[in-house]
Structure 1
């Protein structure tokens, strides 16, 4: 299943559940449906939902159709506490709890035998919270292997926990309302109903005492007046049509309307109109019976708000967007619409740096600023919003986007901080770019992704070329996953030479991919896709292992090759267990750490300086050497090199290439080599392509060289033959 189909199925499932809630189906059926949906999207998982009992402070009434009945009975009545399994703990702290291994996790110290006996080895629990952040219950996703949930699993449970909260809150509201109404009826019987008689003109002939008691009007005030005189103006036409139909057909009619009481407050009334037949069969008067349903209306409005408005920012959510779009099409199908898909730049940085509370408060202020200038703002998820512009052409939409970007030029002030929150915007137009919400949002989102990649634009308008490019990337992602599973990648090696002796002393491992469908694919094409999708981490780990195996083989065959260099991406470097991965690879391949060089770029260090330095120090303490790659392409500064735990500086090939046309490039290159040597680091120059390059570097005592002048990257078999020559 591709991502687009999966998103469509997910949206359909959510719509189905909302429909079940809206049509009043039992909350247990709704919750059961939610568990089936989650289990369908997360293979080999089992889902359960526990309901919180306020009286006992326990979790009970489990909804878990695919768990063994005896297990369900056993977990009924779980206490809420700080160390009571994953569910009890999640409810206690009102936060997510991940148990990767039930057999060893202390949260299951007193309970682990139960889940383990049913083959449940890991559990991810999240609290189901009301709009006031009160505990309603818990979600649990069990796995039959020791693991932690993926980001997709997390987002899936968070999405459906909101729907579960709506279903449970509706149930609790209905129970409270039913109990309230039951007690009220026992006390007052039918006294609260408003009973009256109207003549053929709709004037009051009789009103029951309840009118005075609950509406404030005495009989004298109402008799002779027309019923619609006290109705809300918006309800008069509908109510009058029902009355006219009653007189025409003599068939009872249902009515609902707002009625203003003596204090000027509008009450929702619901009831029926019926004819009063005289003995001769004629009808001259009509009976109405109504009751106050204001509390029920408030409850329905609250449920509607929970379902269709974002809990945090209170702006309409995705479901309201769908409803609004469909309503607009009915009213003005031929009018153009603009969809602006908005992403808040640097929001993740604020969230990660200052905490989620800051992030939530910032999102509220962003929503307020958007809503202050635009009428139809919707929060989709996280820091993503959509604005719909009615009756707007493309050129007009461009002006609105410029205005939007200007609105966010001033900083947002929050808790003594000024936050400069720029926006990235993608635009799609109805009907040119789609005729459904899904198409328009998808295409606006595609344009948004392009704007985020652009170095010179915060805004992009959708084109179908973008869509084709995204389709190509999706195909590339699919083929990448297949290649990773089937070991379709290969490594080429480019020799690194000692500049003084000319001997090959090392190699750089470079990833190559020949796809059976797409042919040879350049790393410049597939590496960015791997980075975007997160596949770069497992691919990078594969490269590390294969390169170490090959280096060990060359050493076993008698080669004097000192090292193999492996590039680490930013994502791979910041994986939680990088040091452990490197340690395990070296152990498995039996390669001495001194024979491995890990290459990083300046981007890695600048991303999270303190974390990066600690990781580099750990790797160097093992004996692994660190090379700073592509020096000169980023925020190059010889000053900070003295503080970095590195061994080798790799000068980017651009310096050598510029040297032929720019005399200053020679001076800069000479200075870099000299200063780096004084710092006690080894220097390696990349991109050596001519005899002049080689001689220039040799004269300036650059330690090592690498480039096409000596050899292009070649397969390991050819590299083995090259090693027999020893010098190039």
Structure 2
């Protein structure tokens, strides 16, 4: 039997059970694996009891047509006292609540409260507006300077995506970046920030002292779908030519998850990018899937030490040993090391003793918008 046939059997079993328990109400399937029961005449306490009994009946494996299933049924309850402008808003709050249940691991029936309704409305607004925001310029790059560790001289910037929503204000990247991934807009988001970043570093270099030998770099984060996108190399060629970027000025920061997969294909892709004069940095080294062998197996230029290690330098001897050895090993391999999240003089002193190359963090600079950065550094 095909997996699709088995899945249909499970869905039909659940639908039949809902009709048996709520047969005199409106019951329907609203997405691939979500159902809605609309009750108009029952007391909400009675409905809660009915819903909890339904959840209890699916709390362990069930047997259907000779197969055993653990379907992990979740349920949310929205009271009629809550007001919604339309059916879309009503159904979305239920789906949003289900997403929160899955992410937090909550059990049992979850009753939607005003706080959750507010969060769902904000999420719905972001869902509706993210495409427009990408096209209208609401999502822009802010820039955090990267400095030479021993001199404090600014040697580059990291471009960080920021969204100022017209009604919700500043939206956390922790909200809209996953949303872009869900909406399959992560490549479009990446290209918006990539072009802004290239334009910025070109502007700041042109407005700096023309006799200066300091060619500042710009770091841009690259998602896994963007790294593998068929038009990436062509896009890079066009941007480098358009903004007259010099070799080494553009740095693409890769997540460790990008290194998972067919190693030969990944190396070939990296080499194609590097042939354009683009440098490659491994972001947040040590927090994901990669091992020290990644430094040997992939053509990386820069290793960025994650903030979580830097935070522990003053309190954890193991963190000190690890950071010190990563710096020494990376440099012996010919790679530049950048310490992220440096916030104290004590952290800076230790990193300088170990000869880290570059520093990024609030100790020197916070991220700033383009106009602030140009005013401060284009001299």
Tell me the TM-score normalised to structure 1 length.
0.43
Q: Is the 8 A contact 2:280 2:301 kept in 1?
A: yes
Q: Is the 8 A contact 2:141 2:159 kept in 1?
A: yes
CA RMSD of aligned residues (A): 4.0
Give the match for residue 301 of structure 2: 647
In 1, the alpha carbon distance for the partners of 2:237 and 2:331 equals 30
Q: Does 1:362 align with 2:10?
A: no
Q: How far apart are residue 439 of structure 1 and its match?
A: 8.2
Q: Is the 8 A contact 1:504 1:561 kept in 2?
A: no
Q: Is the 8 A contact 1:536 1:572 kept in 2?
A: yes
Give the match for residue 182 of structure 2: 532
1:427 to 73, 76, 80: 76
Write the mapping of 1:158-557 to structure 2, written as runs, cut at 5 A.
Answer: 361-369=2-10, 371=12, 375-376=16-17, 380=29, 383-386=32-35, 393-401=47-55, 403-404=57-58, 406-407=60-61, 423=72, 425-428=74-77, 442-452=92-102, 454-457=103-106, 461-464=110-113, 465-557=115-207
Higher RCO structure (Cα 8 Å, ≥6 apart)? 2
What is the SS of the residue equivalent to 2:312?
helix
**Alpha-carbon distance change, 526 to 430 in structure 1, aligned in 2, over 3 angstroms:** closer
**Deviation digits for residues 166-217 of structure 1 (CA, Å, limit 9, x no counterpart):** xxxxxxxxxxxxxxxxxxxxxxxxxxxxxxxxxxxxxxxxxxxxxxxxxxxx
In 2, the alpha carbon distance for the partners of 1:405 and 1:611 equals 44
Aligned residues: 359
**Alpha-carbon distance change, 485 to 693 in structure 1, aligned in 2, over 3 angstroms:** same
1:680 to 316, 334, 341: 334
**Alpha-carbon distance change, 601 to 407 in structure 1, aligned in 2, over 3 angstroms:** same
Unaligned stretches of 5+ residues in structure 2 = 19-26
Q: Is the 8 A contact 2:60 2:70 kept in 1?
A: no
**Alpha-carbon distance change, 646 to 398 in structure 1, aligned in 2, over 3 angstroms:** farther
**Deviation digits for residues 4-51 of structure 1 (CA, Å, limit 9, x no counterpart):** xxxxxxxxxxxxxxxxxxxxxxxxxxxxxxxxxxxxxxxxxxxxxxxx
**Alpha-carbon distance change, 640 to 458 in structure 1, aligned in 2, over 3 angstroms:** farther
In 2, the alpha carbon distance for the partners of 1:422 and 1:447 equals 18
**Alpha-carbon distance change, 402 to 567 in structure 1, aligned in 2, over 3 angstroms:** farther
Give the match for residue 566 of structure 1: 220
In 2, the alpha carbon distance for the partners of 1:672 and 1:399 equals 55
In 2, the alpha carbon distance for the partners of 1:487 and 1:372 equals 48
In 1, the alpha carbon distance for the partners of 2:280 and 2:274 equals 7
Q: Does 1:706 align with 2:347?
A: no
**Deviation digits for residues 600-628 of structure 1 (CA, Å, limit 9, x no counterpart):** 22233347877655433322232211111
What is the SS of the residue equivalent to 1:375?
helix
Q: Is the 8 A contact 2:78 2:112 kept in 1?
A: no
What is the SS of the residue equivalent to 2:141?
strand
In 2, the alpha carbon distance for the partners of 1:421 and 1:587 equals 56
In 1, the alpha carbon distance for the partners of 2:251 and 2:299 equals 13
**Deviation digits for residues 568-622 of structure 1 (CA, Å, limit 9, x no counterpart):** 2344334442223222222322323531101122233347877655433322232
Q: How far apart are residue 481 of structure 1 and its match?
A: 3.8
In 2, the alpha carbon distance for the partners of 1:584 and 1:381 equals 44
Question: Please, which moves more after superposition, 638-647 or 601-610?
Answer: 601-610
Give the match for residue 250 of structure 2: 596
Q: How far apart are residue 478 of structure 1 and its match?
A: 4.1
**Alpha-carbon distance change, 686 to 432 in structure 1, aligned in 2, over 3 angstroms:** same
**Alpha-carbon distance change, 475 to 625 in structure 1, aligned in 2, over 3 angstroms:** same
What is the SS of the residue equivalent to 1:386?
strand
Tell me the TM-score normalised to structure 2 length.
0.77
Q: How far apart are residue 548 of structure 1 and its match?
A: 0.7
**Alpha-carbon distance change, 538 to 369 in structure 1, aligned in 2, over 3 angstroms:** closer
Q: Is the 8 A contact 2:223 2:254 kept in 1?
A: yes
Q: How far apart are residue 720 of structure 1 and its match?
A: 4.0
Give the match for residue 24 of structure 2: none
What is the SS of the residue equivalent to 1:714?
coil
What is the SS of the residue equivalent to 1:649?
strand
What is the SS of the residue equivalent to 1:623?
coil
What is the SS of the residue equivalent to 2:282?
strand
What is the SS of the residue equivalent to 2:197?
helix
Q: Is the 8 A contact 2:92 2:120 kept in 1?
A: no
Unaligned stretches of 5+ residues in structure 1 = 1-359, 414-418
Q: Is the 8 A contact 1:508 1:566 kept in 2?
A: yes
What is the SS of the residue equivalent to 1:627?
strand
In 1, the alpha carbon distance for the partners of 2:90 and 2:163 equals 35
